[in-house]
Amino acid sequence: MPPRLCPEGNLSKTLGTSRHRALIAFLTAKRKDAGLSQTDLAKALGEYQSFVARMESGQRRVDVIEYENLARILKFDVHEFFTSDDLLK
């Protein structure tokens, strides 16, 4: 049997996993570090504030394109989260 690439199991059930919570904490911290409110970020994304609120509360996934847009707006390297020591623990 091949090794599992997702340590917490099925990829379709990622909401609420420790990795998902780590990603949300990372993105929320980046928004706050940038000095932006949820409303400011939502405007930059072309979304409503509730979009950002649902993302930051863990109620929705962040797809790769959204992640790239967040990195551009919040001015962080797209690789930063994936090379974080916290993620590797």
- Domain assignment of residue 6, yes or no: no
- Domain assignment of residue 52, yes or no: yes
Token reading at 7: 């340590």
Q: What is the CATH number of the domain that holds 61?
A: 1.10.260
- Domain assignment of residue 27, yes or no: no
Produce one character per residue of 35-44: b if its CB has 16 or more CB atoms within 10 Å, e if not: ebebeebbeb
What residue numbers bound the domain in which 70 lies? Answer: 37-89
d(CA 31, CA 61): 17
pLDDT for 16 equals 84
pLDDT in tens, the chain (89 residues): 444 455 555 555 788 899 999 999 999 999 999 999 999 999 999 999 999 999 999 999 999 999 999 999 999 999 999 987 655 55
